[in-house]
């Protein structure tokens, strides 16, 4: 094969570091400046596991109240494994990335049934559990059992990108970053070292205005030595987000109950409840859209009434505007054609059901009406 015309990925050579000093300076800093976090007061793999899953793509500050409530509701792996999925989703409501809750629930059942309720200590076993990838596995095994397994989360990517002055965006340099994380991990203190690395990223080596004067690694950091700490890591390329217009129906029947439906367990907001609706087609009015969608999804006839509110909401990969209308049920037997389940509920009991954030805003408006 003639690779003359191919773009060959540039091999990135790791710099040479004084590992003993690198490790010691970070561990000393961590002893003095490390964060006090609830999941650091335990070595119970379940308690650490829950924290690792909640912390995926989610800031510590956001996680803290959810973590406490979760452990009140599901204090043990067994209590989680035996819970209903709807209750699990309710405890996760508002945290986002709901596959994390579904996978955590499923994985707890696997540990209970296939590992006799004892969290596995083999990396290869841990990696088979749904929702646990390389970073989460390393986080759990190092924190719970002090195993020497490296991690590469958002903090570590940023710290190491600067440490080695990575000349490409982190997504393009994953191989090098993992190699470096492996290289510098202190085999004598993997638990503290991994935690320290994340704290350094969260408190010192932050995205904007890194606090280099407080950093224990200035003498090792290539970005700092080159004055590039504000330019690194290189930013990822982004695409413009599509914007969808959605017609949403709050359908009342003559008894004053509201129709809600449960989304399929896979995909966006899987397993959560919602007010039915759908995408407004080009040249279609909101009213026509809502009537059409409700007929297609639930097979009932409704009268589309007043506009309750229009809501803008941003997801990771698209934006939506929800055009919410109060509707009146007319005829037909509701059928769950494009959803899992349909219920007529009162405003008093609606809080028992897990809803996505965009829908809880609607619920608050209905209560205040």
Candidates 15-23, 37-45, 179-187, 335-343 — which segment interacts with DNA by CB under 7 A? 37-45
Beta-strand (E) ranges in 209-300? 243-252, 258-262, 273-274, 277-279
263 labeled binding residue:
yes
Please give the structure tokens belonging to residue 237.
Answer: 């390329």
Q: Which is nearer to DNA, 219 or 231 (CB)?
A: 231
Candidates 21-29, 200-208, 217-225, 297-305 — which segment interacts with DNA by CB under 7 A? 200-208
349 labeled binding residue:
no
Shortest distance in whole angstroms from residue 23 CB to DNA = 19
Shortest distance in whole angstroms from residue 52 CB to DNA = 5
277 labeled binding residue:
yes
Q: Which of 201, 210, 277, 334 binds DNA (CB under 7 A)?
A: 201
Q: How many residues bind DNA (CB under 7 A)?
A: 64
Q: Which of 56, 148, 181, 189 binds DNA (CB under 7 A)?
A: 56
Please give the structure tokens belonging to residue 119.
Answer: 């969290």
Mark whether 52 is an active-site residue: yes
CA angle 128, 130, 132 (to 5 degrees): 75
Shortest distance in whole angstroms from residue 364 CB to DNA = 12
Whether a cis peptide bond, with omega within 30° of 0, leads into 222 is no
Q: Which of 15, 65, 75, 94 binds DNA (CB under 7 A)?
A: 94
The reply to whether 157 sits near DNA by the rule CB under 7 A is yes
Distance CA 208, CA 60 (A): 18
In sequence order, the 6+-apart residues with CB closer than 8 A to the CB of 288 are none
Q: Which H or E run includes 310?
A: strand 301-314
Q: Which of 64, 71, 73, 97 binds DNA (CB under 7 A)?
A: 97
Candidates 109-117, 228-236, 288-296, 330-338 — which segment interacts with DNA by CB under 7 A? 228-236
CA angle 185, 31, 146 (to 5 degrees): 40
**What is the full DSSP assignment across 7-65?**
-PPPP-PPPP--HHHHHHHHHHHHHHH----GGGS---HHHHHHHHHHTTTS-HHHHHH
Residues 264-303, interacting with DNA (CB under 7 A): 267-270
275 labeled binding residue:
yes
Distance CA 307, CA 327 (A): 9
Give the count of alpha carbons within 13 A of 301, CB side only.
Answer: 3
Q: What pairing do the DSSP bridges indicate for beta strands 277-279 and 301-314? A: unpaired
The reply to whether 195 sits near DNA by the rule CB under 7 A is yes
Interface positions with DNA (CB under 7 A): 35, 37, 39-40, 51-52, 55-62, 94-99, 103, 129-137, 139, 153-155, 157-158, 195, 198-199, 201-202, 207-209, 233, 235-236, 238-241, 267-270, 312-317, 356-358
| Residues designated catalytic | 52
């Amino acid at each position: 094969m003639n690779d003359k015309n191919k773009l060959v990925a540039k091999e990135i050579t790791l710099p040479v570091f004084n590992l003993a000093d690198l490790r010691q300076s970070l561990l000393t800093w961590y002893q003095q400046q490390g964060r006090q976090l609830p999941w650091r007061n335990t070595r119970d793999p379940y308690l650490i596991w829950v924290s690792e899953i909640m912390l995926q793509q989610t800031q510590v500050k956001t996680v803290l109240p959810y973590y406490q409530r979760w452990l009140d509701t599901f204090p043990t792996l067994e209590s989680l494994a035996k819970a209903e999925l709807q209750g699990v989703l309710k405890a996760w409501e508002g945290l986002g990335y709901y596959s994390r809750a579904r996978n955590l629930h499923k994985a707890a059942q696997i540990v209970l049934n296939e590992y006799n309720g004892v969290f596995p200590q083999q990396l290869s076993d841990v990696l088979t559990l749904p929702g646990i990838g390389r970073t989460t596995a390393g986080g759990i095994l190092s924190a719970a059992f002090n195993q020497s397994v490296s991690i590469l989360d958002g903090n570590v990517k940023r710290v190491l990108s600067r440490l080695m002055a990575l000349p490409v965006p982190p997504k393009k340099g994953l191989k090098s970053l993992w190699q470096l994380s492996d290289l510098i991990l202190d085999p004598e203190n993997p638990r503290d070292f991994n935690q320290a690395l994340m704290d350094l990223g969260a408190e010192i080596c932050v995205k904007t205005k890194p606090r280099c004067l407080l950093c224990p690694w200035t003498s090792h950091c290539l970005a700092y030595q080159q004055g590039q700490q504000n330019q690194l890591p290189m930013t990822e390329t982004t695409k413009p987000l599509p914007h969808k217009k959605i017609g949403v129906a709050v359908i009342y029947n003559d008894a004053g109950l509201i129709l809600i439906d449960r989304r399929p367990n896979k995909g966006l907001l899987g397993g959560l409840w919602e007010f039915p609706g759908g995408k407004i087609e080009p040249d279609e009015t909101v009213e026509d859209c809502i009537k059409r969608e409700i007929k297609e999804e639930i097979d009932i006839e409704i009268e589309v009434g007043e506009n309750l509110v229009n809501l803008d909401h941003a997801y990771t990969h698209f934006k939506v505007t929800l055009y919410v209308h109060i509707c009146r049920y007319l005829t037909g037997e509701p059928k769950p054609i494009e959803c899992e389940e349909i219920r007529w509920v009162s405003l008093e009991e609606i809080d028992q059901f897990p809803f996505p954030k965009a829908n809880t805003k609607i619920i608050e408006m209905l209560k205040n009406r």
